[in-house]
Structure 1
Amino acid sequence: MSEYEDTCMILGDGGRRVRAILDRIGDKWTLLVVATLDAGRMRYSELQRHVPGVSQRMLSLTLRNLERDGLVTRTAYAEVPPRVEYELTGLGASLIEPALTLAGWAIRNNGAIEANRAAHDEARATAGESAAPDA
């Protein structure tokens, strides 16, 4: 068993809980929202402006999930008009460093990955197959 498998199996559930957390933080919007909130407390409209391409529905869903997981706090103020602010918790802030490490890896290896994709797609196109599975 690899070190990764050993780590994932440590909770005795076949890695289910670890995978669930990695699925959450690896989704399309979570790390972008967490990274944006690293700048400090923000209102919903500010977050929407700073996270390019996120729909209202997906931002709301992402924030709800982050709040449920304890990575973000939501504070509603009894004002007219209503004001709601979001902020990273200590747990949410602890995700910044590993996320930056992973982003650094992606930046350092982007050229190689793009070259590998192009070579793979070219080989498949030459063989008459569909180039990219996710395209």
Structure 2
Amino acid sequence: MDDEWSLTEYQPPESEERWFFRKNLDPRTPQGRAAYPYLVYLTLHFVPRDASGLPSQEDQEVLYEMEDNQLPAIEEPGKAVHVASVIKAGIKDVLFYASDPDVFLEQAALVQSRYPQFAVACEICEDPGWEQYEDFP
């Protein structure tokens, strides 16, 4: 069964920037949402190709490859679930809900080492009720 995703594009007023929000509309959580109480932002930084703030074609291809090849290990059953992605103004945020922040950080370290050109960063906060997911466009 494939995940179902929405895609929302936003352009700030009086700006050439373009922002894209992808949301997993029905994330699979085998143990239920309560088993994934930590919201994690895996942030990748890139040099925008122009005033749109979007990545170059080369960076975009590597970012897609990263999602295809790295997310399955991060999302192993019971570890984390990918709920959203955002691209805007030189950053790509990949959002997850995780069961254990330390286990997630181990996987994030692998992404950091494989993609140093993106200055990968990670931020974790508690969100046991998934409020931020519900508010995501």
The normalised TM-score by structure 2 is 0.23
Of Structure 1 and Structure 2, which has the larger fraction of its residues in helix?
1
- The structure with higher relative contact order (CA 8 Å, sep 6+) is 2
Of Structure 1 and Structure 2, which has the larger fraction of its residues in strand?
2
Bigger Rg over Cα? 1
